[in-house]
């Protein structure tokens, strides 16, 4: 691999940053310690401007090249927040916060972008400005949207933006990317099926919410099987089935269903939303009940821009020798909001064998740090060009 030698030298330091962040995880927008840790390191590196509080607890720093003939700014983004999971790794640097851990590798993303920022501030061998973006609340809080709503792109003059996520199961330090829709839009629903409760010995006197809800769960699977174009992706998952009674001899008054809809294009997103309303409303009505549906749109699909995906793949190939074509991912990612505002791309980097993300035994692989840092730097220097 064409790993920059400087990152082999910096690896112990960057690893120490990563493990410090891992030991002290924070959720959503409560990344106060992490944000301060990031801001302190950026100040030590001599960044030209450091702004905190973007999108509540986000941090943005500008690093100016030795020349700026074109006035261009390239944004590099890492996420900082952890997950509400009890860690089970048994590592000496395991989370010190009960019920919270870095189970998705955002500690590694943050540390790698800090490493890249240190290198870029030392060398400044580019023509323009790099904006390093440290985002809170990727795990369900929409921190990317909040930073955009705070005017980040306009305030710092960002022209392009790039993001990265580690990927367990891929060889360490390898890369994969694809143009167009990449990560899915992630919506949620809550459906309250209302019937008429009563004694289990007299079902004829009830309107059975359990039967209605069970019919809805089955019928919802026809959205993907019979309503969607077979070549498009839609995943409808009912993940919770909860009745208003826990008794053995009671037919409950109501049942609440909860779940998610994951899609890659707007047409499928609209189809999922509309069919959930139609199926559950009419199914309940057939049995003499009612369905009250709350449908909430979450992150939009993450859509990589064509030209910028090519640039990102070329940079990855310089670091790793090649760059693979990535599979579609039906998980969500709020880097999507930044890609709606500016051209850019999102790439996967191999984390090696081990537990998957969002697992209590997951751990970011520190051996991947030099490749990740090198990719960030390659993106900055190639997109801005050498200093004049």
C-alpha 205/C-alpha 26 separation (Å) is 51
C-alpha 52/C-alpha 59 separation (Å) is 5
Q: Quick one: CA torsion of 204, 206, 207, 208, rounded to 10 degrees? A: -90
C-alpha 194/C-alpha 73 separation (Å) is 55
Closest CA to 85 of 96, 99, 69: 99
C-alpha 140/C-alpha 83 separation (Å) is 10
Instruction: Answer for the pair 300, 336: CB distance below 8 angstroms, yes or no.
Output: yes
For residue 38, list its beta bridge partners.
none
Instruction: Answer for the pair 241, 254: CB distance below 8 angstroms, yes or no.
Output: no
C-alpha 218/C-alpha 209 separation (Å) is 14
The count of other CB atoms within 10 Å of the CB of residue 278 is: 14
**CA torsion through residues 54, 381, 111, 175, sign:** positive
The response to whether 277 counts as a known ligand-binding position is no
The response to whether 139 counts as a known ligand-binding position is yes
C-alpha 17/C-alpha 8 separation (Å) is 15
The response to whether 292 counts as a known ligand-binding position is no
Closest CA to 289 of 198, 188, 189: 198
* Token reading at 296: 């909430």
- Binding site members: 104, 106, 139, 165, 358
The binding site for Mn(2+) comprises 104, 106, 139, 165, 358
């Amino acid at each position: 691999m064409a790993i920059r030698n400087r990152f082999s030298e910096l690896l112990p330091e960057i690893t120490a940053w990563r493990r410090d962040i891992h030991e002290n995880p924070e959720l959503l927008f409560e990344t106060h310690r992490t944000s301060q840790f990031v801001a302190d390191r950026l100040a030590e590196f001599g960044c030209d401007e450091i702004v905190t509080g973007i999108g509540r607890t986000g941090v943005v720093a500008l690093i100016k090249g030795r020349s700026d003939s074109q006035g261009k700014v390239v944004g590099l983004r890492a996420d900082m927040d952890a997950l509400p999971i009890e860690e089970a790794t048994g590592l000496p640097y395991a989370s010190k916060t009960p019920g919270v851990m870095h189970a998705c590798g955002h500690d590694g993303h943050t540390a790698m972008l800090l490493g890249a920022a240190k290198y870029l501030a030392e060398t400044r061998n580019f023509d323009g400005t790099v904006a390093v973006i440290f985002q809170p609340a990727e795990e369900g809080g929409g921190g990317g949207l909040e930073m955009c709503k705070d005017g980040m792109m306009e305030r710092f003059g960002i022209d392009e933006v790039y993001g990265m996520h580690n990927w367990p199961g891929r060889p360490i330090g390898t890369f994969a990317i694809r143009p167009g829709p990449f990560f899915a839009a992630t919506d949620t629903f809550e459906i309250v099926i209302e019937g008429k409760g009563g004694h289990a010995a007299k079902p004829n006197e009830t309107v059975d919410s359990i039967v209605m809800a069970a019919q809805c769960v089955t019928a919802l699977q026809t959205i993907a099987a019979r309503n969607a174009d077979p070549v498009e992706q839609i995943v409808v998952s009912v993940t919770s089935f909860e009745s208003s009674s826990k008794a053995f001899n009671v037919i409950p008054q109501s049942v609440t269903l909860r779940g998610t809809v994951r899609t890659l294009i707007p047409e499928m997103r609209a189809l999922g939303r509309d069919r959930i309303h139609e199926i559950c409303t009419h199914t309940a009505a057939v049995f003499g009940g009612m369905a009250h549906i709350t449908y909430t749109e979450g992150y939009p699909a993450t859509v990589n821009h064509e030209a910028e995906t090519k640039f990102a793949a070329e940079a990855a190939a310089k670091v790793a020798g090649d760059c693979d074509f990535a599979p579609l991912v039906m998980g969500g990612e709020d880097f999507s909001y930044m890609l709606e505002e500016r051209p850019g791309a999102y790439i996967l980097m191999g984390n090696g064998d081990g537990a998957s993300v969002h697992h209590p035994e997951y751990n970011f692989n520190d051996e991947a740090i030099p490749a990740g840092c090198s990719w960030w730097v390659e993106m900055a220097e190639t997109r801005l060009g050498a200093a004049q």
